[in-house]
Chain A
Amino acid sequence: MYHKEKSIQVKNSASALYNNLGVLRIAPRHLTYFTVVHANVVNMVSASWDGLNYSHRQLQSKEPNVATSTSLIMQAAFCPLPSRDLLVVTSQKGIQMYESDGSIMVYWHALDTPETPTAQAVFARGISAVRESYICVGVSSGAILVFDVPIKGSNITLSEVLKEHKESITDIAPECSGQPGMECIADLVSADDGGNLYVDCIILWKGTVVAGYGTGQIHLYEAVTGILHAEINAHARWIYSLDIAPFSGLLLSAAEDSLVRVWHLTMTPETNSVEVAHLHNECVTDTQICGAKFCDGDGYAFAVTGYDLSEIIRYTQS
């Protein structure tokens, strides 16, 4: 179903962090941007669709005007909004937002870090663009920060703090049915650290929540009611990444067990049911996968990163 393409070389290896691959497709310029986090650095690669041009850039997580202090990055993700695309980078110190090519930092939000270290680690993790103009970022305290993003410029403001969760946020996802103007009942789903079943990856698609667990299971729930549609014993180790191709309903899951799996979700609105079928496996030998994303909305191609690997592996449908 898929075959391997030429990998993209990255300047550093990928760190073992959830969702450690960002992908942004710039159709008008026939380019795709990729981001991979290595400790305190974000490696950005801009790849032309004809496979001939690659340009690299590195971003560090540091407070503006402070030369020395850098901190470990938890996540880097693209937030596509109708008016503009931003790259959001979260770390132990705070949240940075850049123009999507990484050229300019447009906003910095510092997290409250205590003077002396406490047992509870402080960091931000879980990034999502919501509706037309918001970006939501989760924090280790369990809060979700909601930022209001103007059409252009750097006048981004923190507009709200949601405090539903008591544990560290692991992942946030927007409703991504890919159909503009569709009536959304739920805008956002968020997952946290607590409880016996540890959710680290989450997706919201057409009113269905897809959750990836530390037990290697994937659960599908009806978003509004919480009813369990399906339960998959998907992986033999911790799941690190989930992604959905919104136009086709293809689901991608990747775990520490070296496997990437492609599934197909079908909704039957009449019966309010969801079916899931397994389509394909790819094994990245001797690698604990930490990021896997579709490169387009149909799921025609996907890319994978792994701990200690300095390349982005790509697969395309045959």
Chain B
Amino acid sequence: MSERTLPLVFINLGGEMLYILDQRLHALNTSDDNSEKGVWSENDRKKVMNDIVGTMFGKDFMDELLKPQQLYSHRTMKTVLTRLAHASIMRLNPASMDRLYELMVMAFKYQVLLCPRPKDLLLITYNHIDTIREFVKDTPVVGNKVDETHRKIIEIYSSLPEGEFQLLRQTLLIFFQDMHIRVSLFLKNQLQNPNGRFALSTSGPVPYGMDVPGLIRTFDRKGREVRRSEFPTGGSYTSPIRKGCFELHGDRVIRLGMNMYTVNHPEETHTSKTDDTPNLLAKEELNLLARLMGSMKADDMPKTETGFQINLFTTDQEEEEEAEASSGAEEPLFGVINIQAMQDEQAATQLAQIAGQFAEGEEQPENLSSSKGDDLLAMMDDL
């Protein structure tokens, strides 16, 4: 289908990842558990953000994404996003990365689904870019990379016809199909139903450029209106929203894509599965990934850890225990979050080694995804 999805997917998913990481890293300092060996200072947080944003918006990386190509599989996407996160001094364990990915994808799915007009996908992307710019505003070098990428996106996408955007959107919707993971923030705000499906309203303003439904106009052969009648719409629609700004800076009007996570409510970044049947193949893949990452750490890390391993979310085991405790209640499980973040300078230099292990060890049943992701992964090794 559309060959232009990848840059938008990365910027939007990457943006969601940064929102969540930002919230989590802030939450670390408010944690009651004083057993952590170190503390994430404001500078540490900024460094993590700068490192990830700098990599994500790096010229080579972006140029690779901007080439027309098919969308990656979820597995490849998750691998590349994990590498992005690890471009900083932070380390995420596989369970954390899984949860993080689920949150990112469900947030983006929501935004794409509710996008008023297909072209507004750009406004959603620009909302993410605007906030990312804020995160790195103290580091002009990185800020310039963001601006440069933003300009490229404007240049390439602005002139696409509406039909192309709808094709893009339809391609993204296939990518998100059948994902109904419940997110506590969405459930709380009633954007998502308990069965995991998003709430679609039949009231409110219509998108920019559309007319409020309810009117039938009949014309004569000379084009003069001869009759008007109204019909009941079954909804309550109001006049269109204003046009958002598609330039480098400006009021986007649409709020989809803005940062919905606040610093004070860490439970917002919780997910829970509606479907309890484990995907055995996925488990095997994760075990392999964990072994690859774990083996590197076991070999090379000193036994007495000076840093913290990121465990952003409750693990599957902890969730099961809680499930027993709460006697199979339908609501999502809010566990205590063990935020343990790993600050390990050594890890950065080992990235290349780990990357090498990934390329050899990762199973590749899909020939397509391995070739698509390889160029990108190879490039990240050089960073």
Contacts and interface: CB of A to CB of B under 8 A. Distances in A.
A119 B160 CA distance: 11
A72 B170 CA distance: 11
A216 B213 contact: yes
Contacts of B116: 237
A259 B235 contact: yes
Contacts of A259: 202, 233-235
B211 A308 contact: no
Given A118-B3, A259-B234, A288-B113, A217 B218 contact: no
Interface in A127-157: none
A198 B235 contact: no
Interface stretch (B100-108, B172-180, B296-304, B348-356): B172-180
B162 A308 contact: no
B206 interface: yes
B180 to A, nearest CB: 8
Interface residues of B, number: 56
Contacts of A236: 202, 206-207, 210, 212-213, 233, 235, 237
Nearest to B368: A69
Contact of B68 (A119, A232, A238): A119
Nearest to B225: A231
A117 B69 contact: yes
A228 B219 contact: yes
Contacts, number: 147
A198 B166 contact: yes
Contacts of A232: 215-217
Contact of A286 (B173, B200, B234): B200
A272 interface: yes
Given A15-B174, A194-B161, A308-B197, A230 B3 contact: no
Contact of B173 (A227, A287, A307): A307
A119 B163 contact: no
Given A259-B202, A286-B199, A235 B213 contact: yes
Interface in A150-167: 167
A286 B195 CA distance: 11
B197 A281 contact: no
Nearest to B215: A233
Given A13-B178, A228-B223, A230-B218, A286 B235 contact: no
Contact of B177 (A38, A273, A275): A38
Contacts of A231: 216-217, 219
Interface in B205-260: 206-207, 209-221, 223, 229, 231-235, 237
A258 B113 CA distance: 12
Contacts of A47: none
B315 interface: no
Contacts of B169: 16
B233 A281 contact: yes
Given A257-B202, A281-B234, A272 B221 contact: yes
Contacts of B180: 308
B131 interface: no
Contacts of A307: 113, 173, 177
Nearest to A215: B210
A68 interface: yes
A283 B202 contact: yes
Interface string A162-178: 00000110100000000
A307 B209 CA distance: 24
A234 B213 contact: yes
Interface in B135-175: 161-164, 166-167, 169-171, 173-174
B70 interface: yes
A142 to B, nearest CB: 12
Contacts of B212: 233, 236
Contacts of A196: 162
A287 B207 CA distance: 18
B216 A16 contact: no
A245 B232 CA distance: 22
Interface string A27-41: 000000000001100
Contact of B167 (A121, A276, A283): A121
A215 B211 contact: yes
A193 B164 contact: yes
B173 A15 contact: yes
B163 A257 contact: no
A15 B212 CA distance: 27
Nearest to B219: A228
Contacts of A273: 218, 220
Given A200-B166, A227-B219, 20 more contacts: A13-B178, A15-B177, A39-B177, A118-B68, A121-B167, A193-B163, A216-B211, A227-B223, A229-B218, A236-B213, A236-B235, A259-B234, A259-B235, A273-B218, A278-B231, A286-B197, A286-B198, A286-B199, A307-B177, A308-B197
10 closest A-B pairs by beta carbon, nearest first, are A278-B231, A193-B163, A16-B173, A281-B234, A233-B211, A117-B68, A233-B215, A230-B218, A119-B68, A286-B200
Interface of A: 12-13, 15-17, 38-39, 68, 72, 74, 92, 117-119, 121, 123, 167-168, 170, 193-196, 198, 200, 214-217, 227-238, 257-259, 272-273, 275-278, 281, 283, 285-288, 307-308
26 contacts: A16-B173, A117-B67, A117-B68, A118-B68, A121-B2, A167-B163, A193-B161, A193-B164, A196-B162, A216-B210, A216-B211, A216-B213, A228-B219, A230-B217, A230-B219, A231-B219, A233-B211, A236-B212, A236-B233, A273-B220, A286-B199, A307-B113, A307-B173, A307-B177, A308-B177, A308-B178
